[in-house]
Amino acid sequence: MSLEKKAPRKAKKVPSRATAKANAPEATARPVGRATITDIARLAGVSKKTVSRVINGSELVRGPTRDKVQSLMDELGYTPDPQARGLAFRHAFLIGLVFDNPTAQYIVNIQYGALDALRGSGFELVVHPCDSKNPDYIADIRNFVQRQKLYGVVLIPRVSEDQALAEALQELGVRYTRIASVPLDEPGRMVLTHDRRAGAEVADYLESLGHRRFGLITGPKRYRSSLERGGGFVEGLKRRGVDLPASHIYEGGYTFESGVAGAEALLQLSPRPTAIFACNDEMAAGVYKAAQRMGLSIPGDLSVVGYDDSPLARQLWPALSTIHLPVRDLGRQAAQLLLSKEWPPVLDPGAAVTVHPHLAVRDSAQPPRN
């Protein structure tokens, strides 16, 4: 009896664990509910670290992998958890806006500008009002920065003018930018507004209309912007042969009420001014109120010029001539500086970030009647 040899059976190919995992239904199943970084990594077939590198713009990820991960994040609407990113980077993805300013519209416009710069960056904006007259206000801001683990801070007048605050932020190692009328720091930390030039432009304009008797309502002396705007106006008049007496200068508070009080005081002078420059639009609106109470018409009996070109300037009747200050652009540029890869950005003094205020002529000024 012959025995036939049986052909050996072929060994079954056992898939590797990685292949089995990749081919499993769970590997391609779309997540139910909000996607996580784990979901993105699983669907892309990469590690969570690779996804994290894509999120943070790392150059260590190859182009095809980056595109695949980004496409999945877009498809699933995935957005990184700011708190988780903050833990990884030892800071929160938050930019602070610190202010002590009585003009609400100015603050709102600065916020809009900062948000314009932060859109799509992964950063969010948090605001922190303070009272710079309080002796503990710098300690309060330090606590705010540390508590929120801020990445950077935008400082606007008047707190931007406080060197002690800037030094405190440097000690904390936090980025900051300062919006101010004159250079106060390294160019890469500054956004300049050149208020003195704008004040001089108002002087040139009103004197060119034929006015020779002026009133000036400034902001508080502790505000550098007040000194620059008012100083530019006084210097501009002097260059044109007009001396402004101290009795014709009223220190206001950048508020509507202080504009009313300042105009009432100036318009009781004899002879009274035929033109008043108020160093912001809210105080200029107060001048309108005082003139109305005294039976004076604008611009027939009194010409008025403001500063900031806030929405209020176009809402007044007649429309207010005012210095146009691109406030929203100030906030945008200050926030953009904070996002620079190099910190602080190395800029030449002449290349500092600058905005250029200019006079917007409307209907509130004309040549004097006498």
Q: Is there a single domain that holds both residue 149 and residue 205? A: no
Token pair 């003139």 is found at 291
The answer on pLDDT for 369 being more than 60 is: yes
The answer as to whether 147 is a domain residue is: yes
Could you check whether the bond before residue 31 is cis, i.e. omega within 30 degrees of 0? Answer: no
Structure confidence at residue 20 (pLDDT):
47
Of 347, 55, 3, 358, the C-alpha closest to 197 is: 358
Structure confidence at residue 56 (pLDDT):
63
Range of the domain at 199: 195-324
Within 8 A by CB and 6+ apart from 164, the residues are 138
DSSP H helical ranges for 34-103: 37-44, 48-55, 63-76, 82-89
Q: Is there a single domain that holds both residue 312 and residue 335? A: no
Q: Is there a single domain that holds both residue 200 and residue 187? A: no
The answer as to whether 167 is a domain residue is: yes
Per-residue confidence band for 3, with pLDDT thresholds at 50, 70 and 90: very low
Token pair 């250079």 is found at 183
Of 257, 306, 305, 250, the C-alpha closest to 106 is: 306
User: DSSP E strands: which ranges in the chain?
Assistant: 94-99, 124-129, 152-155, 175-180, 190-192, 214-218, 249-251, 275-278, 303-308, 321-324, 353-354, 358-360
The answer as to whether 294 is a domain residue is: yes
The answer as to whether 80 is a domain residue is: no
**How large is the average pLDDT for residues 280-305?**
97
Q: Measure CA 49 to chain center.
A: 34
- Whichever domain contains 124, its CATH number is 3.40.50.2300
Rounded to whole angstroms, the Cα distance separating 150 from 142 reads 10
The string of pLDDT tens digits covering residues 324-342 is 999 999 999 999 999 988 8
Which bin fits 273, alpha (ψ -120 to 50), beta or left (φ > 0)? beta
The answer on pLDDT for 85 being more than 70 is: no
Total domain count, the chain:
3
Per-residue confidence band for 294, with pLDDT thresholds at 50, 70 and 90: very high
The answer on pLDDT for 124 being more than 60 is: yes
Q: Is there a single domain that holds both residue 230 and residue 306? A: yes
Of 80, 70, 5, the C-alpha closest to 36 is: 80
Rounded to whole angstroms, the Cα distance separating 259 from 265 reads 10
Rounded to whole angstroms, the Cα distance separating 55 from 39 reads 14
Rounded to whole angstroms, the Cα distance separating 230 from 279 reads 7
Q: How many CB atoms lie within 10 A of CB 52?
A: 19
The answer on pLDDT for 1 being more than 50 is: no
Structure confidence at residue 88 (pLDDT):
42
Structure confidence at residue 248 (pLDDT):
98
Q: Is there a single domain that holds both residue 224 and residue 303? A: yes
Tokens linked to 298: 């604008």
Q: Which amino acid is at 287?
A: V
Rounded to whole angstroms, the Cα distance separating 39 from 28 reads 10
The answer as to whether 20 is a domain residue is: no
Q: Is there a single domain that holds both residue 160 and residue 215? A: no
Q: Is there a single domain that holds both residue 202 and residue 293? A: yes
Structure confidence at residue 238 (pLDDT):
97
Q: Is there a single domain that holds both residue 209 and residue 145? A: no
The answer as to whether 345 is a domain residue is: no
The string of pLDDT tens digits covering residues 194-208 is 999 999 999 999 999
Rounded to whole angstroms, the Cα distance separating 299 from 275 reads 9
The answer as to whether 333 is a domain residue is: yes
Rounded to whole angstroms, the Cα distance separating 322 from 287 reads 13
Q: Is there a single domain that holds both residue 314 and residue 210? A: yes
Q: Is there a single domain that holds both residue 185 and residue 221? A: no
Higher-scoring residue by pLDDT: 106, 256: 256
String of b and e for 73-92 (b: at least 16 CB within 10 Å)? Answer: beebebebeeeebbeeeebb
The answer as to whether 254 is a domain residue is: yes
Q: Is there a single domain that holds both residue 316 and residue 203? A: yes
Q: Percent helix, strand and coil across the chain, each rounded to 5?
A: 45, 15, 40
Q: Is there a single domain that holds both residue 156 and residue 109? A: yes
Rounded to whole angstroms, the Cα distance separating 192 from 353 reads 6
Which bin fits 352, alpha (ψ -120 to 50), beta or left (φ > 0)? beta
- Evaluate whether 154 touches 98 at the Cβ level (below 8 Å): yes
